[in-house]
């Protein structure tokens, strides 16, 4: 990560999206590096100038974790509670949510926290049984759903397992979605056409049944970009928009590549995907 560039890259993405006249700006989470109060203050300052509707679901780095005294990858600061995230960044101040954007119904799910606190000592994700039931009921009432969530479906994670098994045997795997079966069953049974996810800091597509998942790159680490979704009766086109020039991209590539075996593998994977765009073409 090139954390010292993160705020500027986010501003670039937001400014560019607004200049293009998009209907809404949505984020699948990780709005902050570690959920520190000063990171939220900086984020709020940036978002204060955004006129386009903006909303988000939380990522694993946005929510409270156990102290570093008990959990190696925990918090050394007081992260604001998830209900503060909901108030500030969800359309009606609550998650899960449904928000109408043009002809689409954007459905936001929280995969980063659980009511029982079971995710405070892990960066894995999960969707509660209550939220899965809510999703099933909600999908029966909408016509054109797009599901927004941070963690990924098994089909997306499987691509990283294949990367490890075929090219980078020493790399670590990303934190996963726990017990994904009930969620995936609801998505596929309802034939949800599109899921937008994050978490992996990598551009990617995966398909389960008739449901496509598109995972978004990060603006703060290589490949430093955001995605534009153009959705109409003819289908969906997803465009990759870089937010750094060649010099900035080179800096980010080197920073991520040199941050250990796993980061090197993920950087290689991102580079391969960029070199093989479009990842899917069903015209």
Q: Following DSSP, what letter does each residue of the chain receive, concatenated? A: --GGGHHHHHHHHHHHHHHTT-S-EEE-S--SSS--HHHHHHHHHHHTT--S-EEE---TTTS---BTTT-TTSBSS-PPPHHHHHHHHSTTS-SSEEEEETTEEEEE---S--TT-TTTT-S-B---HHHHHHHHHHHTT-SSEEEE-SS--HHHHHHHHHHHHHT-TTPPPPP-BSS-HHHHHHHHHTT--EEEE-SSSS-EEEEETTEEEEEPPPSSSTT-EEEEEEEETTEEEEEEEE-S-HHHHHHHHHHHHTS-HHHHHHHHHHHHHHHT--S----
pLDDT (0 to 100) of residue 50: 98
| Dist. CA 197–CA 183, nearest whole Å | 14
pLDDT (0 to 100) of residue 283: 73
Burial 17-32 (b: 16+ CB within 10 A, else e): beeeebebbbbbbbbb
pLDDT (0 to 100) of residue 191: 97
CA 192 to chain centre: 18
Q: Residue 182 maps to which CATH number?
A: 3.60.21.10
Please count the structural domains in the chain.
1
| Residue 283: inside a domain | no
Q: Which domain holds residue 227?
A: 3-275
| Residue 280: inside a domain | no
| Residue 23: inside a domain | yes
pLDDT (0 to 100) of residue 220: 92
Written as tens digits, the pLDDT of the chain (283 aa) is 788 999 999 999 999 999 999 999 999 999 999 999 999 999 999 999 999 999 999 999 999 999 998 898 888 899 999 999 999 999 999 999 999 999 999 999 999 999 999 999 999 999 999 999 999 999 999 999 999 999 999 999 999 999 999 999 999 999 999 999 999 999 999 999 999 999 999 999 999 999 999 999 999 999 999 999 999 988 999 999 999 999 999 999 999 999 999 999 999 999 999 999 999 988 7
Q: Is the pTM of this model over 0.75?
A: yes
| Residue 123: inside a domain | yes
| Residue 122: inside a domain | yes
| Residue 31: inside a domain | yes
For residue 62, give the nearest of 125, 116, 15, 9 by alpha carbon: 125
63's torsion region: left (phi>0), alpha (psi -120 to 50) or beta?
Answer: beta
pLDDT (0 to 100) of residue 189: 98
| Residue 170: inside a domain | yes
8 Å CB contact between 27 and 282 = no
Instruction: Count the alpha carbons within 13 Å of 101 in the hemisphere toward its beta carbon.
Output: 24
| Residue 75: inside a domain | yes
């Amino acid at each position: 990560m090139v954390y010292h560039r993160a705020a500027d890259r986010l501003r670039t993405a937001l400014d560019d999206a607004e200049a293009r006249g998009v209907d809404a700006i949505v984020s699948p989470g990780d709005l902050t590096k570690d959920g520190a109060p000063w990171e939220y203050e900086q984020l709020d300052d940036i978002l204060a100038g955004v006129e386009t509707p903006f909303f988000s679901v939380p990522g694993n780095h946005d929510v409270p974790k156990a102290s570093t005294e008990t959990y190696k990858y925990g918090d050394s600061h007081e992260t604001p509670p998830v209900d503060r995230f909901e108030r500030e960044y969800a359309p009606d101040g609550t998650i899960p949510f449904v928000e109408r954007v043009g002809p689409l119904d954007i459905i936001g799910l929280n995969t980063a926290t659980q009511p029982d606190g079971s995710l405070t000592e892990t960066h894995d994700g999960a969707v509660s049984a209550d939220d899965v039931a809510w999703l099933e009921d909600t999908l029966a009432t909408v016509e054109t759903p797009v599901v927004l969530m941070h963690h990924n479906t098994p089909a997306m994670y499987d691509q990283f397992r294949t990367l490890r098994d075929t090219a980078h045997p020493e790399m670590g795997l990303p934190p996963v979605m726990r017990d994904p079966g009930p969620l995936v069953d609801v998505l596929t049974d309802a034939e949800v056409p599109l899921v937008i996810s994050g978490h992996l800091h990598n551009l990617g597509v995966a398909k389960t049944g008739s449901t496509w998942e598109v995972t978004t790159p990060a603006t703060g680490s290589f490949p430093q970009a955001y995605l534009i979704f153009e959705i109409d009766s003819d289908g969906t086109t997803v465009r990759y928009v870089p937010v750094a020039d060649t010099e900035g991209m080179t800096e980010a590539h080197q920073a991520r590549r040199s941050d250990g075996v796993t980061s090197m593998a993920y950087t290689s994977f991102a580079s391969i995907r960029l070199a093989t765009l479009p990842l899917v073409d069903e015209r």
